[in-house]
Amino acid sequence: MQKRKLGKSDLEVSAIGLGCMGMSHGYGPASDKKEMISLIHSAIDRGVTLFDTAEVYGPYVNEELVGEAIAPFKEKVVIATKFGIQMVNGKQVLDSKPEQIRKSVEGSLQRLKVETIDLYYQHRVDPNVPIEEVAGVVQDLIKEGKVKHWGLSEAGVESIRRAHAVHPLTAIQSEYSMMWRSPEEQLLPTLEELGIGFVSFSPLGKGFLTGKIDKNATFDSSDFRSIVPRFKSENIEANQVLVDLIQAIAEEKEVKPAQIALAWVLAQKPWIVPIPGTRKLERLEENLGAAEVELTPEELHALNDALSKIKISGERYPSEYANRVGR
């Protein structure tokens, strides 16, 4: 597996990481813990070194799963986790107050069975706590040896600049794929200017770009996609044109659609690391194979030209979640 450095930092990770959320949160009922530990071990065997989780996934159980799985490999892998979202009466509540950050980091260290968190993200910007205050607390945690690197998830450019001025950010995490190219407008140029790495979640459009979801798809009530406008039947049908484009290129290059979608993300910048999630070994191997798929400059140009003519239907978040991003 090829390696990439996140921005100007010294944090080097596998070119493709593994998003672990879906193993126990967000995409239907949790999978068998032993099977998921085995899958994480398979990823490590295949050279994956970046594993992404969060306190709120479950909550807590996803960190416990990752902690147990990587226990024998602590020195070989990089664990990213997140603070800033608490579950209160079954609802997600933003909370990045200093005392909560300190409480969160202690819980994450315990569940992950580590002494230091490699990469610690603020999960969403908390409008009630100045980002400088958050950065100051994390800076203290870094001085105390509890955190090595920090980042922000789904943050706006202004927040990124303000946070970075207090203590340099190693990475920003946001959704980015052929289906969601908004980061190209302001986010990616800002990260390039500041020397910050970019970790792309949902690089397969929450599974849509694999070509395995059609207008007749149904989602369990515990599957986040059941409330996402993008996954309403009429939007799935309208967006099929994108899947058709990806499938045509995949057939031409004799690879899988998911590999084209991931290769496209990798080709954008050398400091972008996608973290597709999966529960299946077959999908894991397919996703990792994308690192070997090369899109020539000519192919990329033609592909981007085709993408620019496709209008994606349906928002990527329901309104209750949409107002928490880009702050």
SS (H, E, C) the chain: CCEEECCCCCCEEECCCEECHHHCCCECCCCCHHHHHHHHHHHHHCCCCEEECCCCCCCCHHHHHHHHHHHHHCCCCEEEEEECEEEECCEEEECCCHHHHHHHHHHHHHHHCCCCEEEEEECCCCCCCCHHHHHHHHHHHHHCCCEEEEEEECCCHHHHHHHHHHCCCCEEEEECECCECHHHCCHHHHHHHHCCEEEEECCCCCCHHHCCCCCCCCCCCCEHHHHCHHHCHHHHHHCHHHHHHHHHHHHHHCCCHHHHHHHHHHHHCCCEEECCECCCHHHHHHHHHHHHCCCCHHHHHHHHHHHHCCCCCCCCCCHHHHCCCCC
Q: Check residue 310 and give its pLDDT.
A: 96
37-66 mean pLDDT: 98
Is pLDDT at 321 greater than 90 in this prediction?
Answer: no
Mean pLDDT, residues 303-324 taken together? 92
Domains of the chain, earliest start first: 3-208+264-293 (3.20.20.100)
Residue 245 pLDDT class (50, 70, 90 cuts)? very high
Averaged pLDDT, 29-53: 97
pLDDT band at 319 (very low <50, low <70, confident <90, very high): confident
- How do residues 184-207 score in pLDDT, each as one tens digit? 999 999 999 999 999 999 999 999
- % of the chain with per-residue pLDDT over 90: 96
- Read off the pLDDT of each residue in 81-92 and give the average, rounded to a whole number: 95
pTM of full prediction above 0.95:
yes
The per-residue pLDDT for range 157-180, each reduced to its tens digit, is: 999 999 999 999 999 999 999 999
Annotated active-site positions, please?
57
**pLDDT score of 144 more than 90:** yes
Tens digit of each residue's pLDDT (9 = 90 or more) over 61-81: 999 999 999 999 999 999 999
For the segment 30-49, the average pLDDT, to the nearest whole number, is: 97
Note the pLDDT of residue 320: 82
User: pLDDT digits over 266-313, tens only?
Assistant: 999 999 999 999 999 999 999 999 999 999 999 999 999 999 999 999
Q: What percent of the chain has pLDDT over 70?
A: 100
Q: Looking at the predicted structure, is the pLDDT value of residue 323 above 90?
A: no
